[in-house]
Amino acid sequence: SQKIEQNSEALNIQEGKTATLTCNYTNYSPAYLQWYRQDPGRGPVFLLLIRENEKEKRKERLKVTFDTTLKQSLFHITASQPADSATYLCALSSSGNTPLVFGKGTRLSVIA
Amino acid sequence: DAGVIQSPRHEVTEMGQEVTLRCKPISGHDYLFWYRQTMMRGLELLIYFNNNVPIDDSGMPEDRFSAKMPNASFSTLKIQPSEPRDSAVYFCASSKPGQGAETQYFGPGTRLLVL
């Protein structure tokens, strides 16, 4: 069966360091992989999308990589800040018109 | 743009009662999704619509759950009768294929507690 795993439920890092979150998947051939941020009591908010033929995508302090051979995506936040503390969800879809399948998320805490 | 609107934001009800959750998608979006989020299972897709037509309801847990989309600006998710295990946060999301449409825009969610 299809499975999406995010490396850990929680990750604590010090302010200023780079946070790296992992998303692994099995029995899936995604065309798109997305990362969302979710704050407590709120809905997920889209951050970045990367396509299967792209290796890397950047947006400000965020960077996403997508390795279809390893079936893995890495999500990096450089120069992390306490305001980056949230739960980060990865999501896959096999096409632009099929629904997303979400991982359970990693709760990131950036400590000042 | 007001974003996706959901109501109510919180609902507390007793087992056996009917619960109706409401969603107004972003204007112009032709896909609408209903999700349920729990600590144990994460974010699960229940059903989604395209142009008001249900496309896939395989995620709806039981016959007690039903969803409708009578027009492009309104959808409901109904649970009848409700059970304590239905307690969760229910999210509605919308998207529009063709314009970065793989991105979904989520509402604030409805936190449901069934006693």
C-alpha separations of B83 from B9, B71, B94, B107, B110 in Å: 19, 29, 27, 24, 16
Q: How far is B8 from chain A (nearest CA, A)?
A: 14
Contacts of B57 in chain A (CB under 8 A): none
| Mean predicted confidence (pLDDT) in B20-48 | 94
pLDDT computed for residue A95 by the predictor: 74
Q: Does pLDDT of B91 surpass 80?
A: yes
Residue of A nearest to B38 (CA): A104
pLDDT computed for residue A36 by the predictor: 97
Facing B91 at nearest CB: one of A34, A43, A49: A43
Residue of B nearest to A103 (CA): B42
Q: Is the CB of B97 less than 8 angstroms away from the CB of A96?
A: yes
pLDDT computed for residue A96 by the predictor: 64
Q: What are the per-10-residue average pLDDT scores of chain A (112 residues)?
A: 83 96 91 93 95 92 95 96 97 79 95 94
